Structures are given as C-alpha cells and as structure tokens.
C-alpha cells in the first residue's frame, strides 16, 4: 500500500510539474526523503508524508481516512442493539431462598 501511495504522490508531483528539489524545499525535507516518500519506504514518518501531501495540496485527502468507519459503525450498532435487546429480555427466575445450591460449600 505504501508503494502505491508513493506512486500516487509521485504522479501528483509530476502533474503539477514540480521537481523533487522544489517539493523538498517547500516541505522542509531533503530531496532524498522525497525520493523515499515516492518509493513508499515504510521508514519515512507519517508526518513527512503529510508534509509532502500538504506541499502538493493533497493534505485534505487524509481527512477521508477512517472518517466513515462502516465496519466500526456496524459493530457499534450491533453492540447497541445487543445491549438494548438484552435489557428487554426477561431475567431467569432466581431459585427460592430455601432451595439447596449444589455449588454452595457444605459445612
């Protein structure tokens, strides 16, 4: 995924007709780091990726990451339904107080 991200960043830079030198200067990073970002190297910090994206005007794209967590919402809704459904269930009647409890220790 990082390799693909790097490729997309590289294409975005080229579409804007920006050199790696210009991007590195505007992002405040070395030119070598720009090459690493474009290669999708995992050792590059997320902050550096963000700087490059901001330089290219693409930093708003990060707002979309996990903004609509469909799986999480489904799990949350299921959990909420399970909780409310369990509250509506009738409790099992408790045994009479004089009934013998087989789990109780005998003295």
pLDDT in tens, 22-46: 999 999 999 999 999 999 999 999 9
Residue 100 or 37, more confident? 37
Q: How confident is the model at residue 92 (pLDDT cuts 50, 70, 90)?
A: low
Q: Which long-range contacts (CB under 8 A, 24 or more apart) does 84-87 make?
A: none
Q: CA 13, 18, 19, 23: dihedral to nearest 10 degrees?
A: -70
Query: What are the residues whose beta carbons fall under 8 Å from the beta carbon of 42, sequence distance 6 or more?
Result: 2
- Confidence at residue 107, expressed as pLDDT on a 0 to 100 scale: 47
pLDDT (tens digit per residue) in 37-86: 999 999 999 999 999 999 999 998 888 887 888 888 888 888 877 655 55
């Amino acid at each position: 995924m990082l390799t693909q991200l790097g490729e997309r960043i590289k294409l975005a830079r080229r579409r804007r007709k920006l050199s790696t030198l210009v991007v590195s200067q505007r992002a405040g990073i070395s030119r070598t780091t720009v090459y690493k970002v474009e290669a999708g190297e995992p050792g590059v910090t997320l902050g550096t990726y963000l700087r490059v994206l901001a330089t290219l005007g693409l930093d708003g794209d990060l707002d979309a990451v996990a903004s609509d967590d469909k799986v999480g919402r489904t799990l949350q809704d299921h959990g909420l339904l399970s909780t409310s459904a369990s509250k509506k269930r009738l409790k099992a009647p408790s045994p009479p107080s004089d009934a013998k409890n087989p789990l109780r220790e005998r003295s």
